[in-house]
Amino acid sequence: MSAVASYRALLRTVGPAYVLVAFLGRIPLAMSQLGTLVMVSEASGRYAWGGAAAGALAIANAVGAPVAGLLADRIGQRPVVVVQSILGALGLISLVVVTTPEAPRTLIVAVAAVTGLMLPQVGPLARVRWRPITEHSEGDPVRRRRLVDAAFSYEGAADEASFVLGPALIGVLGVLVDPAGAVVTAGVVLAVFGTWFAVHPTVRLVKRAAAHAAEDHRFWSVAFVVLIGAQFCAGTLFGSIQTGTTVLATAAGQAGLAGLIHACLGIGSVIAGLAITALPERILYATRMLVAAAALFALAVPLWWVDSLPALVAVIVVLGFAVAPYMISNFALAGILVPLSGVGTAMTFLAAATGLGYATGAAVAGRAADAGGHQPAFLVTICAAGGAFVLALLANPVLRRARVVNA
């Protein structure tokens, strides 16, 4: 089955409405991080405070994500995501209200943290739904496995596309209105589409799958810890490159373009993510992860010499071609190595690691930028990519030997 045929089969199986809702439901998380960074930096006049607030939001989201994932596995996604969508939307609006030049910086950071705790992880939970969805499709087991591969490739591309559209919306609304208006928009989108995702009929399939699974949640292994470390590196890359981009754009007098420029990272990533499903099954995910990590490091190194916005756009677009294959491999490995009853928890653990990495990258790069501008911030990005490559290289034998649970 070709890649195009696989994607067509997925659409026939689940319907286009679900794909649209699940995609738009994850946009607010992508908007909230950069929106908080830009809004708080502008109000406080310090990148370090903007990075601290964005980092607090990301850390709290990382702490809350596995708890939400565990609850979703135990009681179903619907009640968990409905509550998170509503409270998360209120949190984003509250963050806008308290972010003023006169407000105590600690109050802003605290509200950002509470908001992050409530934001749902729609992307990881959408990944959980695909396996039970494809079980109801027509065809033999080989065809269904191919559909699962296509679904994970699509989800990787969708995540990257959300991190294109999210920052782009922050950039556009930041220019047309202001950063605060962009964050309010994120809250409205979350309230509508996060709730819609929570009540979509596909949620019943996940609940049944979890209820009838024979396995338990004891999914910890060396391989899974490696995947958590890999996603931490990816998150650090995202957080630091967002900060470096904001600093360079501001220095060039184009602060409002920071979101649009950062969104360029997702252009190549979306293309690569959609195309990766065409790879033959004999190429193991462990191999794909290693190759993608090597490319990630090699393509991040040129950031050290970037000193203009056109050069930054060129480097970021090319770098994006390595991002989705790397993350798709990580999430796909988790999906097949973890018992079905714990997949929701596992996916949100990986999302949490990404959030912690983002917080680390944003905070460290923010302080580095205050001291030396965009170049030290991008050095954090290069180090994160290098860490991803070293980890993939050292852990490749472990990942190759890992036991497949969900065959």
pLDDT (tens digit, 9 = 90+) per residue, 296-319? 999 999 999 998 889 999 999 999
pLDDT (tens digit, 9 = 90+) per residue, 155-213? 877 877 787 777 778 767 876 778 888 899 999 999 999 999 999 888 887 755 444 44
Residue 232 has a pLDDT of 95
Structure tokens at 238: 């995202």
Statement: residue 141 has pLDDT above 70: no
- The number of beta carbons lying within 10 Å of the beta carbon of residue 236 is 28
132 or 301, which is more confident? 301
Q: Alpha helices of 76-178 — where are they, by DSSP H? A: 77-98, 105-118, 122-135, 141-176
- Nearest Cα residue to 352 out of 99, 175, 117, 6: 117
Structural domains present in the chain: 12-401 (1.20.1250.20)
Statement: residue 354 has pLDDT above 50: yes
DSSP, collapsed to helix, strand or coil, labels residue 120 as coil
Structure tokens at 375: 């170049």
| CB 10 within 8 Å of CB 150 | yes
Residues 6 or more apart in contact with residue 29 via CB below 8 angstroms: 61, 119, 120, 121, 122, 123, 162, 166
Residue 72 has a pLDDT of 85
Whether the model pTM is above 0.85: no
| CB 167 within 8 Å of CB 29 | no
Residue 318 has a pLDDT of 93
φ and ψ at 131, to 5 degrees?
-65, -50
